[in-house]
Structure 1
Amino acid sequence: MKPQTASVFGRGAPQLDLTAGEMRAIVASALRDLAPESRVLAIVPDKTRDDNTDVLFPILAEILSALRVKRFDALIAQGTHGPMTEQEKRAKLGAGLGLPGLNEIYDHRWDDAAHLVTIGQLSAEQVAEATQGLIAEAVALSVNKLLAPGNYDIVLVIGATVPHEVAGFAGGAKYFFPGVAGPELTNLTHWLGALATIERVIGRIETPTRRLIELAATHIPARVIAFNSVVTRETSRLRTHALFAGELSAAFRQSAAISRQLHIKYTGRRYHRVVALLDEHYDEMWVGGKASYKLGGVIEEGGELIIYAPHLKRLSATHGRLIERYGYAPLEEVKEMVARSEELRANLCVAAHLAHVVYASRRDENGRLAPRYRITLASAIDRETCARVRLGWMDPRSFRLEDYAGDPNTLIVERAGRDLYLVAPDD
């Protein structure tokens, strides 16, 4: 198979349904020049991402075993999410009866200095140029200590490409920053996404955050080979529409171009009410907020987003205390909170989340700043907690989908949080 660019192998189109055999051929092409005795680390998504890792990872393991690599380990790119159970890890990696040659599966500890190493720094000038002046401060590049120089010869980055609120699209360098990064760039990139505003970031390939994380990724000391998939869910199976493997940024852009065609839906209008039937992969508001991120663009000013998610149990295992202390608010208000609070300045990823969930602001009938639309949560989170974080509450037992079906001013979205909804392409 010949590479599609100087450094990328693969195929992709909205109508494709790649087989395991076709994916194997792409993977083999990307790995064909690996030196014998290479030490290989695979960075893989966590359980909050619905992707084809369980298909790709066993293919990688078999090919690497045949190549007789010296060592093969995996690191979960969980960002600030909590660790998975051993059973969840095995299911994510498609372990089944075992994976040939795989040694260790490591969790990432973003907030523990003992698990991190600094591999460089971006200067204030570099940050200012990459972010077009939104942020102009130096930032240390700390990552999981497994990525320290000399540990591995090859790093494989595996993951699916979908619209994302912070970087524009998930995938590529995002699996390093914030996937396996320390707090410095994790906080800075999330806050940068908020400052750039979700409306100007989500669903766009070239963004300030993308420029910054790709600049940071040039400091990774090992050779990087990326495996970028584009998938959709069809009833009980995932369909792989694209797989591009090779150079990190080029493979990402080819997959993002396919994702734009599959994962962005255009409604042609805004709705007064959107009912989001939250995807089952999101069991806390830290990731369940994607219902707002990806649907806010089609909700009228003064409208309502109802998130039906009886499986959503908490705000965040990692950040819940801070979310409850400060509450969801428009970006303008969150900026003021950040200016007043040293605690929030030290946790800018939380500040960004507070603004992202609200999505955008408006002026109410009294001229006061308010969220552009109200959010009502029908979940396992209790009424009091919703009130503390300034969300509406609905008893999920009283939710009836038929109450909303047929209303021309209501849009019902299944598996909400997966696809991005916009009014028109120019959005």
Structure 2
Amino acid sequence: MGTISHAAATPAEDVTPAAVTAPAAARIGGPGTVLSEAQVTAFVAEQLAGVDLDGRSVCLVIPDGTRSCPLPLLLSAVHGALAGRVTRLTALVALGTHAAMGERELAAHLGHPEGGLAGRYPGLTVLNHAWWEPSTFVSLGTVPAERVGELSGGLLHQEVDVRLNRAVVEHDVALVLGPVFPHEVVGFSGGNKYFFPGVAGAEIIDLSHWLGALITSAEIIGTRGITPVRALINEAAAMIPARRLALCVVAQSGTGALHAAAFGTPEDAWAAAAEVSAETHVRYLDAPVRRVLSVMPEKYEDIWTAAKGFYKLEPVVADGGEVVLYAPHVRELAAMHPEIAEIGYHCRDYFTAQWDRFKGLHWGVLAHSTHLRGAGSYDPEHGERFRVTVTLATGIPEDVVRGANLNYLDPAEVDPAAFAADPDTMVVPQAGEVLYRLR
């Protein structure tokens, strides 16, 4: 195995908007804008008309159901601009390691009647990223340990095999299509993140997520510019043989409308969209709050995904405070990663202090553990000490919740109106996308 630096990680430099070089991407909209469907469709048509795609095969890398954006609008615009021009058009759902989407889910997600894909999108093939199937992948090569050390700021020194869904490699062009939000692992999501971890193999998923965990979610989330994790992702993406393009959008959280859309290389389109996301998806408070009730939408089906209600609120909770994830519909910790119930949720230092015990497990699972448990410390004599309490008010049995090292609250006892009436509590509806920070 490679080595880990146990020194305290420092966040990537927060690049202010004035310091960011203007990205070489076309963009419409902005923080104060809500785009019409006609504007979006015209923008997509114009941008794709300007790219030499005739006679090429194109793989669209699209989000799964846990990401908010008007996907039927975007996919219709892209399909309309490419149908008849390209030899083959495939949509690959970037599951990462989420559960596969079934026919009914995909139909709702893509905006066509169940069984009616060909009627809405003639000639389009839709694939789930089958991350559980080894034959899904092709290796693009490796990032050497020395280079990983450079990109990670010395936090990790391990060679990593860069495996990617072969559908991307077997098309001439890979076009990323999806939203940008503040993100707990990389700073802001989108762009090349749709390749890694979106349709990538376990090795680089584990490495990149553990790098984010070493820096910590609270430090990296909403960080502008190229974070160490983004740098690692970009390094891997440069190995993709297909031509890479991206349509990155900024969704109005809770409505599905768009503030902005940007087109260009994944690096440039992402940078243009991230500028807007930083202005629209971040709320600032003047003082910390004692308690947060994060009301989780039903699109988050387990704690693996619903944990975003903690990530996005941890920065504004006072020391000794509490985040309550209210999601009565959630009935399991992680549908695709049941081992989290055995590992439990712990702070970063719990793992780094006992690395020989944990290094053989999936680092992505360890990263998720630290992201939800938040800031804390560990020593063998006193055990773990946490900055905030994490409470689940879900359909998960109490013994499972407490066994995973989290606090339990019966969801039947939760009255959001009563929580809202408490001056020490902030209730956040539709939690999971907007980041809250202190000024």
* TM-score, structure 2 normalization: 0.90
How far off is 1:142 after superposition?
0.2
1:9 aligns with 2:26: yes
Cα distance in 2, alignment partners of residues 82 and 336 from structure 1? 32
Q: Which residue pairs with 1:175 in the alignment?
A: 194
Q: Which residue pairs with 2:228 in the alignment?
A: 208
Q: Check conservation: 1:330, 1:358, Cα contact below 8 A.
A: yes
Cα distance in 2, alignment partners of residues 102 and 214 from structure 1? 31
After superposing the two structures, state which structure 1 stretch, 97-106 or 77-86, moved more. Answer: 97-106
Q: Which residue pairs with 1:128 in the alignment?
A: 149
Instruction: Check 1:386–1:180 CA distance in 2 against 1; reply closer, same or farther (3 A cut).
Output: same
Alignment partner of 1:352 out of 349, 367, 375: 367
Instruction: Check 1:333–1:5 CA distance in 2 against 1; reply closer, same or farther (3 A cut).
Output: closer
Q: Which residue pairs with 2:139 in the alignment?
A: 118
Instruction: Check 1:367–1:268 CA distance in 2 against 1; reply closer, same or farther (3 A cut).
Output: farther
How far off is 1:90 after superposition?
2.0
C-alpha distance after superposition, 1:382-410 (max 9, x if no partner): 10100110111111112112332222211
Q: 1:18 is matched by which residue type in structure 2? A: L
Matches for 1:201-240 after TM superposition, within 5 Å: 201-205=220-224, 206-234=226-254, 237-240=255-258
Q: Which residue pairs with 1:279 in the alignment?
A: 297
Q: 2:177 is matched by which residue type in structure 1? A: I
Cα distance in 2, alignment partners of residues 229 and 6 from structure 1? 15
* TM-score, structure 1 normalization: 0.92
Matches for 1:77-96 after TM superposition, within 5 Å: 77-96=94-113
C-alpha distance after superposition, 1:76-132 (max 9, x if no partner): 100000100112112222235533333321111223221110012111122111111
Residue 89 of structure 1 aligns to a residue whose secondary structure is helix
Q: 2:30 is matched by which residue type in structure 1? A: A
Matches for 1:10-409 after TM superposition, within 5 Å: 10-32=27-49, 33-65=51-83, 67-96=84-113, 98-148=119-169, 151-205=170-224, 206-234=226-254, 237-320=255-338, 322-344=339-361, 347-361=362-376, 368-409=383-424
Cα distance in 1, alignment partners of residues 82 and 24 from structure 2? 20
Residue 385 of structure 2 aligns to a residue whose secondary structure is strand
User: What stretches of structure 2 of length at least 5 have no aligned partner?
Assistant: 1-20
Please tell me the root mean square deviation across aligned C-alpha atoms, in Å: 1.9
After superposing the two structures, state which structure 1 stretch, 191-200 or 20-29, moved more. Answer: 20-29
Residue 252 of structure 2 aligns to a residue whose secondary structure is strand
Q: Check conservation: 1:284, 1:312, Cα contact below 8 A.
A: yes
Q: Check conservation: 2:328, 2:393, Cα contact below 8 A.
A: yes
User: What stretches of structure 1 of length at least 5 have no aligned partner?
Assistant: none
Q: 2:181 is matched by which residue type in structure 1? A: V
Q: 1:136 is matched by which residue type in structure 2? A: H
Q: 1:165 is matched by which residue type in structure 2? A: E
Cα distance in 2, alignment partners of residues 114 and 341 from structure 1? 28
Q: Check conservation: 2:289, 2:426, Cα contact below 8 A.
A: yes
Instruction: Check 1:342–1:132 CA distance in 2 against 1; reply closer, same or farther (3 A cut).
Output: closer
C-alpha distance after superposition, 1:127-155 (max 9, x if no partner): 1111111112111110111123xx21111
Q: 1:158 is matched by which residue type in structure 2? A: L
Residue 77 of structure 2 aligns to a residue whose secondary structure is helix
C-alpha distance after superposition, 1:27-52 (max 9, x if no partner): 12321233322111100000111112
C-alpha distance after superposition, 1:299-322 (max 9, x if no partner): 1111111111111121111112x1
Cα distance in 1, alignment partners of residues 22 and 326 from structure 2? 44
Cα distance in 1, alignment partners of residues 349 and 240 from structure 2? 35
Q: 2:120 is matched by which residue type in structure 1? A: L
Cα distance in 2, alignment partners of residues 48 and 208 from structure 1? 24
Instruction: Check 1:280–1:6 CA distance in 2 against 1; reply closer, same or farther (3 A cut).
Output: closer
Q: Percent identity?
A: 35
